């Protein structure tokens, strides 16, 4: 930082930077309580509002979390799931009636909260992928995934309604092996997958559903499943709590 630039920083930014350095150095470890507002006021000679602004800056970066009546604590990042993007989609997993969660090796039993299935108008990108007109009816399946009682992922699957209507795919419980096993029974077995990964800050409804604190981004994974004729049979849009996942992709060099 250029000489004099630090002095030109607002006081709350200087306090936030000092606390951030303390977190980075290990002075304040995960789960530790930071000095309180009164402590910062006394140490830096600032007003209470300035101390609160410093905490707000750290919270916006996702470094700390306030706990009502207890103070502000360094956020703990507890990765609960190693998502093995290739192994989990192997045909031997779902064709044998297994859940693709099994390949994640979490060591825990995930809970799937079924949020509903219904025919809805196809969004533009989904309609294009499935080869149906925009606004045409597609079957939409929504689920929330929880680990140790904590929500970690929202998933929305889109399928051609004409293909899935009247089949177990349109039921809350699709049966052993899930949607992919049922597609195989319909002669539309998925043989290839493409996943696109990006991140952003969550929409309000996502933050609420995943119980995310301020400053916590979500990882977005959009998976497209293709059959042997390279036709799209499913589009699955997922929003993952970034603090709960490691995304792992292992493959051979070609």
**CA-based angle 150:154:156, to the nearest 5?**
155
Q: Which CATH superfamily is domain 81-248 in?
A: Chorismate lyase-like (3.40.1410.10)
Residue 39: the pLDDT is 94
Residue 104: the pLDDT is 63
Residue 6: the pLDDT is 58
Residue 80: the pLDDT is 65
Instruction: Name the helix (H) or strand (E) containing 215.
Output: none
Residue 195 to residue 32: CA distance in whole angstroms: 37
Q: CA torsion sign, 95 to 226 to 83 to 206?
A: negative
Residue 85 to residue 195: CA distance in whole angstroms: 8
What stretch(es) of the chain map to CATH 3.40.1410.10? 81-248
By the 10 Å C-beta count (0-12 exposed, 13-18 middle, 19+ buried), 195 is classed as: middle
CATH class of this structure's domain 5-74: mainly alpha
Residue 204: the pLDDT is 92
Residue 79: the pLDDT is 60
Cβ-contact 213, 59 below 8 angstroms: yes
pLDDT averages per 10-residue partition of the chain, 254 residues:
64 94 91 94 95 91 85 78 73 68 61 93 93 93 89 95 94 92 94 94 93 85 95 96 84 77
Residue 232: the pLDDT is 96
Strands, E assignment, 87-148:
111-121, 137-147
Residue 74 to residue 27: CA distance in whole angstroms: 11
């Amino acid at each position: 930082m250029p000489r004099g630039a630090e002095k030109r920083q607002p006081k709350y930014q200087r306090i936030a930077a000092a606390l951030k350095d303390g977190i980075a150095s290990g002075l304040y470890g995960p789960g530790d309580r930071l000095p309180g507002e009164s402590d910062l006021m006394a140490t830096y000679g600032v007003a209470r509002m300035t101390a609160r602004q410093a905490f707000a800056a750290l919270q916006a970066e996702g470094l700390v979390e306030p706990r009502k009546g207890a103070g502000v604590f360094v956020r703990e990042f507890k990765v609960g799931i190693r998502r093995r993007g290739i192994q989990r989609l192997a045909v031997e997993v779902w064709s044998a009636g297994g859940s693709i969660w099994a390949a994640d090796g979490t060591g825990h039993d995930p809970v799937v909260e079924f949020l509903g299935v219904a025919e809805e108008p196809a969004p533009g990108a989904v309609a294009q992928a499935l080869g149906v007109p925009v606004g045409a009816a597609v079957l939409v399946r929504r689920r929330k995934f929880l680990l140790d009682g904590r929500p970690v992922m929202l998933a929305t699957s889109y399928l051609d309604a004409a293909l899935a209507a009247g089949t177990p795919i349109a039921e809350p419980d699709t049966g052993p092996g899930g949607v992919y096993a049922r597609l195989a029974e319909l002669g539309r077995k998925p043989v290839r997958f493409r996943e696109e990964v990006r991140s952003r800050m969550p929409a309000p409804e996502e933050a609420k559903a995943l119980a995310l604190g301020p400053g916590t981004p979500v990882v977005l994974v959009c998976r497209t499943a293709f059959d042997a004729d390279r036709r799209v049979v499913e589009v699955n849009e997922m929003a993952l709590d970034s603090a709960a996942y490691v995304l792992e992709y292992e493959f051979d060099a070609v």
